[in-house]
Amino acid sequence: GQQLNQSPQSMFIQEGEDVSMNCTSSSIFNTWLWYKQEPGEGPVLLIALYKAGELTSNGRLTAQFGITRKDSFLNISASIPSDVGIYFCAGAFSGGGADGLTFGKGTHLIIQP
């Protein structure tokens, strides 16, 4: 099956620092999605990317769809305690959401006060 390599696996940062994580794929995706999951919850959609080269922001979060269609990154600026959680990238091959998603293994974000 398709593989998504997400890095880093975990991050220990100080409050106020910026965060960067990325995903790379062996195959081309037509959609890249970034989710956040907190304990006891399902993944919550943060940002959706539909076009190669697209750069999209959602508050302090910024994500980009790589031009090769095989990678994406997520940046979080000025981290705060509520940013703690597991961040997942996910890719879809089709437009229109007709396919299930392939997920990365997640980045555990831990913020030290």
Partner 1 sequence: SAVISQKPSRDICQRGTSLTIQCQVDSQVTMMFWYRQQPGQSLTLIATANQGSEATYESGFVIDKFPISRPNLTFSTLTVSNMSPEDSSIYLCSVVKGGQETQYFGPGTRLLVL
Positions that interact with partner 1 (CB under 8 A): 1, 31, 33, 35, 40-45, 48, 50, 88, 90, 92, 95-98, 100-106
CA distance linking residue 105 with residue 108, whole number of Å: 10
Residue nearer to partner 1 on the CB measure, 16 or 58: 58
Nearest to 11 by CA among 3, 19, 23: 19
Task: Give least dist CB 42 to partner 1, A.
Answer: 4
What number of other Cβ atoms are within 10 A of residue 33's Cβ? Answer: 22
Task: Give least dist CB 67 to partner 1, A.
Answer: 19
Residue nearer to partner 1 on the CB measure, 90 or 111: 90
Task: Give least dist CB 39 to partner 1, A.
Answer: 11
Helix (H) or strand (E) holding 99: none
* C-alpha separations of 47 from 15, 34, 108 in Å: 22, 5, 18
Residue nearer to partner 1 on the CB measure, 1 or 113: 1
